[in-house]
Structure 1
Amino acid sequence: MHLPHLITDLGLILAAAGVMTLIFKKLKQPLVLGYIIAGLLVGPHVGLFPTISEPENITIWAEIGVIFLLFSLGLEFSFKKLVKVGGASTIMAFVEVISMLLLGYLTGKLLGWSTMDSIFLGGILSISSTTIIIRAFDELGVKSQRFASLVFGVLIVEDLVAILLMVLLSTVAVSQQFAGAEMVTAVLKLGFFLLLWFLGGIFLIPTFLRRASKLMNDETLLIVALGLCLLMVILAAQAGFSPALGAFIMGSILAETTKAEKIEHLITSVKDLFGAIFFVSVGILINPETIITYAGPIALITVVTLVGKTISIAGGGLIAGQGIKTSVQSGLSVSQIGEFSFIIATLGVTLNVTSDFLYPVAVAVSAITTFTTPYMIKFSTPAYQFVERIMPAKWKRSLDEYSSGAQVVSSTSDWKRLLQSYVIQTVVFSVIIIAIVLLSAQFLNPFITENVINGTTGKLVTTAVTLVFMAPFLWALAVYHPLKEVQGRLWANRNYRSLIIVMEFVRIGIAVLFIGFLLHQFFPVQVSIVAGLVIIMLLVIFSKRIQSFYIRIENRFMSNLNAREIEEASRMHHTLTPWDAHLIRFVIPSEAGLVGKSLVDLQVREKYGVNVAVIERGNRTITAPTRNELIFPGDVLYVFGSDEQIESFRRFIEEECILPEVEGEKENVALQKLLVSGGSVLLGKSIRNSGVRSQTNGLIVGLERNGERIPNPDSELIFEEGDLVWIVGNPDRIRKLEASSIIDAVA
């Protein structure tokens, strides 16, 4: 019986990959390199082993592998993570990408390569390997160090930049030149579709998964997730983007749902399978003779990668005010290329715009820099010490002063907050309205005029239906005020009133223009003006109903957007997730500036928003320390607060004193949520007079009332029925309080 070549080739690929994974596991080397070598051995350029028959079929499998690889990266990405990335990581990522794009291009030109080869080389060198770095951090045990968190932020930004690069490189490849207008159009188009897909996906997909959850087991959830992934792949391809972009976007949307972890677990086997096929296909395309021929360029590009990435990231860190040590450690940690580099190289091959030698050169550089990564990370501390030793004292003082100045916590003015709110609203609602109008003109109107009713009446029906969908967003664009209190404070200042009035008229004017944009799709100008006036009157008449409809839409969207955090909050006992707050352990070194000072002198709550919940001093544990408690060398402080608050407090202390949260014999601290019931003796009492502190030997760090969250509540606040209270303290005392029936605890 004759087997199709597709099956025999697939069997050969997986067999070779399986053997190489065992060997590389034994050698404790990255499996990606094993897959590439497996592909090299079964490829057409090496005759020692059986060779695949039809490389074209493997290309199809490889494309599927790229799709699932980027889908899994999207599941780990999440746009909310990108929003939370600090300014320092963002600056470092952009400095690195711009520097490596330029260095790659100049290196290609120096080697006499074509313009397109040089451009793609810059793109290949600009993105580091998330997988390799995370694995190296795990093996070396440095994930809890300060520079590691910065590197993770850099990798998140790089993921998004890689998507942007894929679009821009495709545009350059098609036009074969740097056309400024085309580049700007490509970026705007990407931004439009990214925002539209994210908003639509968050509004629809979590709701669908939640309502269908009772029907879903592991099998159906996997099929639905893969179906959604491939559906977005089709939409991305129809919009003129890479299919891989669609997979990445759907992964990032599903990352915001309550099913994210489950989907990530279920998709792992599928991703590993097709990912292996992709990396084996990378090896199949390698010609060993090409690597030997281009050994010189490979060595040069490797040096450019190692040195260029180190210097650009370290320089970006210094620009961002992160200090010499953190900057050097970060730079030496990202000096390699990986998954996205392969995908960018594949893009050049697919578009047939790069030379045959570029792909194997990129793979060779990736292999070398992958091997060097752990050693570069280990070398980071001696490198920092060497730089600090040879640096002139004047330079060092200047950098320390700049770093201190750059890390000052600045407050955001009301005017800036209001302006940001207006800009975000205008962009978001404009994208939604434009998308509704374009979909109506391209799909709804032809359907109605061909299948329901034609002529002017059909256009009127189309306009009416479209307007129903547009109305809540038109109202929000022209009228909605998300920051009423801020606007009220600014309005009280006469200097800002004229500016606020101008912004209001601008918003209304943009809404009117969108009404005209809708009518212009179907009617002449004269008819559009009259109909526009009628529509504006109808919007005013039905304003309250439209407002109610929009509020429901917004509530649904925000509920879906925060669903994962809300579910995690209900599961986790030791984390105050509604405010993204948690406990972290600090050891106070003898040289720290806060030694010998009391908590009232330090004003940690007033300045940084954190609570010192527990102090461990030798064999003594001080829970809920008073304001007059002094800080001594060697004290262990359990500090409660959000990431930003803890980060601002951390700057008081040497970087080496942050330790990961560990469970030891002395760490007997818990965070418990309690509900004040109708029969509680706390009703009508203030926090100060309630006795909660003495009974639990703990500290009240948060309170929620009628949906409003109050971190660090004032001691004079009066308890009311239904209040949710969070207490940090000794678990045994809190459990005794729970059992006393004074307060009903809820899990």
Structure 2
Amino acid sequence: TLLVVSLGLCFGMAVFSVYCGFSLALGAFVMGSIIAGISYAERIEQVITPVKDLFGAVFFISVGMMVDLHVIEEYISPILILSCVVIVGMIVFGTFGMLITGQPLRIAMESGFSLTQIGEFAFIIASLGMSLGVLNPIIYPIVVAVSVITTFTTPYFIRLADPAYNFVEKHLPRKLHFLINRYTTNATSECETRVLWKTVLKRYLWRILLYSSVIIAIILITLRYLLPWLETIIPSWSRLIADIVALSCMSPFLLALAMPASRKTERERLIAANARFDVPLIVMSLFRMLLSLGFIIYTLSAIHSMRVGWIVGFLIFMLMLIALSGRLRKHMRRIESTFFNNLNERELRRSGRNNNLVSDMHLAYIEVGYGCPFVGDRLIDSNLRQRYGVNVASIQRGSSFIAVPNGTMRIFPGDILGIIGTDEQIQALLPIIEQGNETGGENENRADDIKLTNILLSETSPLIGKTSATSQIRDKYKALLVAIQHSDGTYDHPTGNNLFNPGDILWLVGDPKQLESLK
């Protein structure tokens, strides 16, 4: 059910995105971003991974089948020229762009050298260009060939990043090196007022983007589906009902869009730091109000006429401004806070930032990783309270919930610990407890590293006369003795007192390399 619902949401949002005039990829991306913030994100990722691998394999097989060797041979010159342009251009512009943002020269060059390819998204753009008739169909295999070449060469350019940096640093003029370091230092050391202004502006743009998207979706649904359906049922009242339904659904988001995006204390600090900041804040407020008015006028104009839209829309907007009392603002901020908390439920639950108990104490739910240094320890031995000042309020282990565990309870990978502490304490503890949750790695152990094998004991075996306990097979070779097969065909389960005799066959489970040395 979880797999079907997740795929249904993805496909549904993709289809809805196409109906709204956007691409399939954008709709799927938006739904993926939404699902990534819920509490079931890890479980959904597990059930979706096989489907992702299947479609990924089909995609790359199809891409490989599109590589026409005859086309490559015929257009080898433009393919090589385009590949060189992509590689050199991405290195130059990537490095230059990172330098502008204030990054050091080493990081800038490493970033530029790691961007020397065009990804599979280029295929989507090329396909769209061909479907619209603005690209010649012969361009597509050329794009595929350039993508294959640049993808193949990217690891080598990543390895060349450090030698290239050493060469540039050695031959770079001192004055230019001084200017780059000075610019980097100035760009990274931002003043408090600038950081505050960036925070306010980011919140302002995010609110406009989010609420405008929701309002536009309501308008499209009303005009494309609701109004035509009402006209077939009750033609005389269809427009009035469409007005009421659309404006009712839009009103919470219009009110939230019209309210200030910055807090009162933030505005006071900005104005106190520099009186010039008062003008941008006023302009931002006017823009939000005009945007809200524009949505209302457009909706009424599309349903009725331009004259009705301007007159009624302006009257509704004035009433909405009058209704923005202090009590209503407080209520709308509460609704907005609930909306964003639901949107970021998973991260808030993990960090505990929105789960205040008293004062600055938070309750966070953190999953124990396989690399956590406390794995296997009892709570009393982990010294979490003495080291980090936090308390363990609960342990979720599978379907079992342990409330207020005692000091003898052990910590295992996969446990979800209910940690109580300040925000600073929890943020410091998060990377320690979650160690090993990331996947990948060259030295990662796999299930296929363990296998079952058998060893025949000869007359000269040093194990002859020993027992399963005194042979120390588990300690020396990290192997588990499963059964002992005697020469007469009978089996014994090891109890620690079984003597090994010539001709016995030992059935062992362990690492193949260790078992080979045991043989």
TM-score range (shorter-chain normalised) is 0.5 to 0.7
Indicate whether 1:443 and 2:160 are aligned. no
Deviations 1:205-224, CA, capped at 9 Å, x for gaps = xxxxxxxxxxxxxxx11111
- Judging changes above 3 Å, is the alpha-carbon distance between structure 1 residues 324 and 430 closer, same or farther for their aligned structure 2 residues? closer
TM-score, length-scaled by structure 2: 0.60
- Judging changes above 3 Å, is the alpha-carbon distance between structure 1 residues 283 and 351 closer, same or farther for their aligned structure 2 residues? farther
Q: 2: CA distance between counterparts of 1:505 and 1:362?
A: 46
Q: How does 1:703-718 map to 2 (within 5 A)?
A: 711=424
Indicate whether 1:559 and 2:353 are aligned. no
In structure 2, the residue corresponding to 1:412 is in which secondary structure? helix
Deviations 1:121-163, CA, capped at 9 Å, x for gaps = xxxxxxxxxxxxxxxxxxxxxxxxxxxxxxxxxxxxxxxxxxx
Letter paired with 1:564:
R
Q: How does 1:619-638 map to 2 (within 5 A)?
A: none
Q: 1: CA distance between counterparts of 2:201 and 2:79?
A: 50
Equivalent position of 1:529 in the other structure: 311
Residue 230 of structure 1, CA deviation? 1.2
Q: 1: CA distance between counterparts of 2:108 and 2:264?
A: 41
Whether the 8 Å CA contact 1:703–1:726 is kept in 2: the answer is: no
Q: 1: CA distance between counterparts of 2:255 and 2:362?
A: 30
Indicate whether 1:379 and 2:160 are aligned. yes
Q: How does 1:597-608 map to 2 (within 5 A)?
A: none
Q: Which of residues 116, 124, 129 in structure 2 aligns to 1:335?
A: 116
Equivalent position of 1:742 in the other structure: none
In structure 2, the residue corresponding to 1:334 is in which secondary structure? coil
Whether the 8 Å CA contact 1:566–1:577 is kept in 2: the answer is: no
Deviations 1:409-449, CA, capped at 9 Å, x for gaps = 33235666656655554554444444434433333233334
Higher normalized helix content (fraction of residues): 1
Letter paired with 1:278:
F
Letter paired with 1:230:
F
Equivalent position of 1:229 in the other structure: 10
Q: How does 1:579-590 map to 2 (within 5 A)?
A: none
Equivalent position of 1:472 in the other structure: 252
Equivalent position of 2:263 in the other structure: 483
Residue 240 of structure 1, CA deviation? 3.0
Q: 1: CA distance between counterparts of 2:26 and 2:309?
A: 41
Whether the 8 Å CA contact 1:463–1:519 is kept in 2: the answer is: yes
Equivalent position of 1:301 in the other structure: 82
Q: 2: CA distance between counterparts of 1:407 and 1:538?
A: 43
In structure 1, the residue corresponding to 2:39 is in which secondary structure? coil
Q: 1: CA distance between counterparts of 2:31 and 2:172?
A: 48
Equivalent position of 2:517 in the other structure: none
Equivalent position of 1:673 in the other structure: 390
In structure 1, the residue corresponding to 2:390 is in which secondary structure? strand
Letter paired with 1:412:
T
Indicate whether 1:274 and 2:55 are aligned. yes
Residue 490 of structure 1, CA deviation? 5.8
Q: 2: CA distance between counterparts of 1:727 and 1:291?
A: 54
- Gap runs ≥5 in structure 2: 354-359, 375-381, 394-419, 433-519
Q: How does 1:340-355 map to 2 (within 5 A)?
A: 340-351=121-132, 353-355=134-136
Residue 232 of structure 1, CA deviation? 1.7
Letter paired with 1:483:
R
- Judging changes above 3 Å, is the alpha-carbon distance between structure 1 residues 377 and 663 closer, same or farther for their aligned structure 2 residues? farther
In structure 1, the residue corresponding to 2:240 is in which secondary structure? helix
TM-score, length-scaled by structure 1: 0.44
Letter paired with 1:450:
T
Equivalent position of 1:285 in the other structure: 66
Q: How many residues align?
A: 381
In structure 2, the residue corresponding to 1:296 is in which secondary structure? helix
Deviations 1:472-512, CA, capped at 9 Å, x for gaps = 23322334564122234567799579846676566555544
- Judging changes above 3 Å, is the alpha-carbon distance between structure 1 residues 443 and 579 closer, same or farther for their aligned structure 2 residues? same
Q: 2: CA distance between counterparts of 1:266 and 1:569?
A: 25
- Judging changes above 3 Å, is the alpha-carbon distance between structure 1 residues 369 and 703 closer, same or farther for their aligned structure 2 residues? same
- Judging changes above 3 Å, is the alpha-carbon distance between structure 1 residues 577 and 225 closer, same or farther for their aligned structure 2 residues? farther
In structure 1, the residue corresponding to 2:117 is in which secondary structure? coil
Which of 1 and 2 has greater Rg? Answer: 2
Residue 384 of structure 1, CA deviation? 1.6
Residue 262 of structure 1, CA deviation? 2.3
Deviations 1:518-563, CA, capped at 9 Å, x for gaps = 4334446369636853774487469688657634541332122221
Higher RCO (CA 8 Å, separation ≥ 6 residues): 1
Equivalent position of 1:264 in the other structure: 45
Q: 2: CA distance between counterparts of 1:231 and 1:245?
A: 12
Whether the 8 Å CA contact 1:318–1:324 is kept in 2: the answer is: yes
Q: 1: CA distance between counterparts of 2:351 and 2:309?
A: 54
In structure 2, the residue corresponding to 1:256 is in which secondary structure? coil
Residue 383 of structure 1, CA deviation? 2.0
In structure 1, the residue corresponding to 2:192 is in which secondary structure? coil
Q: Which of residues 238, 241, 257 in structure 2 aligns to 1:461?
A: 241
Q: How does 1:172-187 map to 2 (within 5 A)?
A: none
Q: 2: CA distance between counterparts of 1:549 and 1:415?
A: 26
CA RMSD after TM alignment: 4.4
- Judging changes above 3 Å, is the alpha-carbon distance between structure 1 residues 285 and 545 closer, same or farther for their aligned structure 2 residues? same
- Judging changes above 3 Å, is the alpha-carbon distance between structure 1 residues 221 and 318 closer, same or farther for their aligned structure 2 residues? same
Deviations 1:271-303, CA, capped at 9 Å, x for gaps = 221222222222223322222222333333333
